[in-house]
Amino acid sequence: MPNYAVIRCTTTCLRRKAREIIDTYHSYIKWADRPSRKLYWLLTIDNEPVGAFGLGSAFARPKAVKAFMNEHDIAFNEMANNIVYCLKPDLPKNSGTRFLAQARRDAVHWWYDRYSDTLKVFQCFVLPPRTGAVYKADNWECIGTTSGNSYKTESLYGDDPRKEKSDRYVSARTGEVKYLLRQPQQVQPKLIFMRHA
């Protein structure tokens, strides 16, 4: 029987391997260094890297998520967003669900060790036509869809007439002035999945 393992990416080498898997095999997400809470796992079968799993700060904005949080008395820092989950193709049957369950169990402990918050809920956003089958098999609940409304943020420097409609920021470190312009855009709605830890 194969040996499945979820390994915390606590070194640059492990993070590099996870990044390679995500950039090579994920269908619509590439690796991104996020300025929020984030934890990554390298997924292995018999010590061979076959996938990556990542958690980050959650989103409370979609109305369905806010309603779920209120209904279950969940605070923002007690929830993590599954920012990426990626596996190589042609793995043994049920590998996805098996890894997902292992990563979830370990995440509760590592989240507390790293951030001193009790992790009570996981969330994930799935872009159709994907149905979230691996999440459904691990008993995640589809609570609705996002609205499809999003914002594109653009940094403006120098003389740009759009600066009048943007927010002004001054870097505390460098003193550099930057303007952030947020423009609404339509994106494809995503399925929202939630699961208690």
Q: Which CATH code for domain 4-146+188-196?
A: 3.40.630.30
The whole-number pLDDT of residue 186 equals 73
Query: What mean pLDDT is predicted for residues 139-166?
Result: 77
Parts of the chain belonging to CATH 3.40.630.30: 4-146+188-196
Query: What mean pLDDT is predicted for residues 6-27?
Result: 95
Average pLDDT over the chain, rounded to whole?
90
How many angstroms separate the CA atoms of 194 and 143, rounded?
Answer: 7
Q: Using one digit for the tens of pLDDT, what is the confidence trace for 52-97?
A: 999 999 999 889 999 999 999 999 999 999 999 999 999 999 999 9
Question: Is the pLDDT reported for residue 193 higher than 90?
Answer: yes
Question: Is the pLDDT reported for residue 164 higher than 80?
Answer: no
SS3 per residue for the chain:
CCCEEEEECCCHHHHHHHHHHHHHHCCCCCCCCCCCCEEEEEEEECCEEEEEEEEEECCCCCHHHHHHHHHHCCCHHHEEEEEEEEECCCCCCCHHHHHHHHHHHHHHHHHHHHHCCCCCEEEEEECCCCCCHHHHHCCCEEEEECCCEEEEEEEECCCCHHHHHCEEEECCCCCCEEEEEEEEEECCCCEEEEEEC
Question: Is the pLDDT reported for residue 156 higher than 90?
Answer: no
